[in-house]
């Protein structure tokens, strides 16, 4: 556990910015929250428990994260929708110099055009956040672990 309240606030601000960029946009700026060789993936608890490495989304670099953004914004045929992240319960622990393992709960709500709001996913982040030479905190690893095995139709936006 880290007891540095300043650091905790700084990390929470990173997650708030993450939620803002995914939920409100511009999504094109979302990859900037990751280091160049970052890993971003969405997995299910079922696969983790069964020892299977499949991810629902797997990006192995900031470039891969940009490819995902391009697909969402320009390539995929999707019914318009909005997502909304609630993130809470941060736990952080030092992991090497200028790096911290961060875990937190997430709930993501989805509102499809013309319909009501539903809870789309809930789970836990298991992330690694690092401070880069420009002083900014960024994700080196972001793993979104979904509690449910089943996705309600399509997983369009990052969790």
Footprint of another protein (CB under 8 A) = 42, 44, 46-47, 50, 52-64, 66-67, 70-71, 75-79, 149-156
For residues 21 and 33, is the Cβ–Cβ distance under 8 A? Answer: yes
Taking the least distance from each CB to another protein, the nearer of 29 and 88 is 29
Taking the least distance from each CB to another protein, the nearer of 98 and 152 is 152
Q: How far is the CB of 156 from another protein (least distance, A)?
A: 7
Q: Measured over all CA atoms, what is the biggest interatomic distance in the chain, rounded to whole angstroms?
A: 48
CA–CA distance from 108 to each of 37, 50, 102, 111, 132 (Å)? Answer: 26, 24, 18, 10, 28
Q: How far is the CB of 96 from another protein (least distance, A)?
A: 24
Q: What are phi and psi of 154, to 5 degrees?
A: -115, 140
Which one-letter DSSP state was computed for residue 149? S
Q: How far is the CB of 90 from another protein (least distance, A)?
A: 26
Taking the least distance from each CB to another protein, the nearer of 29 and 70 is 70
Q: How far is the CB of 63 from another protein (least distance, A)?
A: 3
* Residue 77, both tokens: 């045929």
Taking the least distance from each CB to another protein, the nearer of 16 and 151 is 151
* Residue 22, both tokens: 């995914």
């Amino acid at each position: 556990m880290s007891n540095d309240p300043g650091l905790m606030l700084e990390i929470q601000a990173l997650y708030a910015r993450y939620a803002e960029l995914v939920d409100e946009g511009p999504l094109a700026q979302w990859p900037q929250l990751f280091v160049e060789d970052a890993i971003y993936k969405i997995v299910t608890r079922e696969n983790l428990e069964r020892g299977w490495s499949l991810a629902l989304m797997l990006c192995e670099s900031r470039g891969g994260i940009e490819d995902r953004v391009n697909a969402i914004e320009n390539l995929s045929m999707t019914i318009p929708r909005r997502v909304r992240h609630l993130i809470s319960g941060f736990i952080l622990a030092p992991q090497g110099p200028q790096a911290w393992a961060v875990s937190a709960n997430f709930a993501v709500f989805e509102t499809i055009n013309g319909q009501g709001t539903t809870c789309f996913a809930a789970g836990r982040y298991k992330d690694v956040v690092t401070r880069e030479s420009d002083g900014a905190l960024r994700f080196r690893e972001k793993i979104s672990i979904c509690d449910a095995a089943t996705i309600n139709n399509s997983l369009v936006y990052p969790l």
